[in-house]
Amino acid sequence: MASDDKKRGGIVETIKTVVYALLIAGVFRTLFFQPFWIPSGSMKDTLLIGDFLFVNKMAYGYSYASCPSVRIPAIGINIDAKDICGFFDGENTRLLAGQPQQGDVVVFRHPVSGADYIKRLIGLPGDTVQVLGGVLHINGAPVALRDGGQFEEEFGPQGPYRHRPRCENGPVGNGGICAKSRQIETLPNGTEHAILNITTQGSDNTPVYTVPAGHYFFMGDNRDNSTDSRVPQAAGGVGFVPFENLIGRADRVLLSSGGSSMLAFWTWRADRFFKAIE
Active site residue ranges:
42, 119
Helix (H) or strand (E) holding 73: none
| Cβ atoms 37, 52 nearer than 8 A | yes
Find residue 272's DSSP bridge partners.
Answer: none
| Cβ atoms 190, 177 nearer than 8 A | no
Tell how many helices (H) and how many strands (E) occur in the chain.
2, 17
Q: What CA–CA distance (Å, rounded) separates 217 from 124? A: 7
CA 68 to chain CA centroid, Å, is 15
Contacts of 6 (CB under 8 A, 6+ apart): none
Within 10 angstroms of residue 214's Cβ, the number of other Cβ atoms is: 14
Pairing of strands 116-123, 215-219: antiparallel
* 3 state SS for 235-262: HCCCCCEEHHHEEEEEEEEEEEECCCCC
Residue 128, CB-side half-sphere exposure with 13 Å CA sphere: 10
Helix (H) or strand (E) holding 126: none
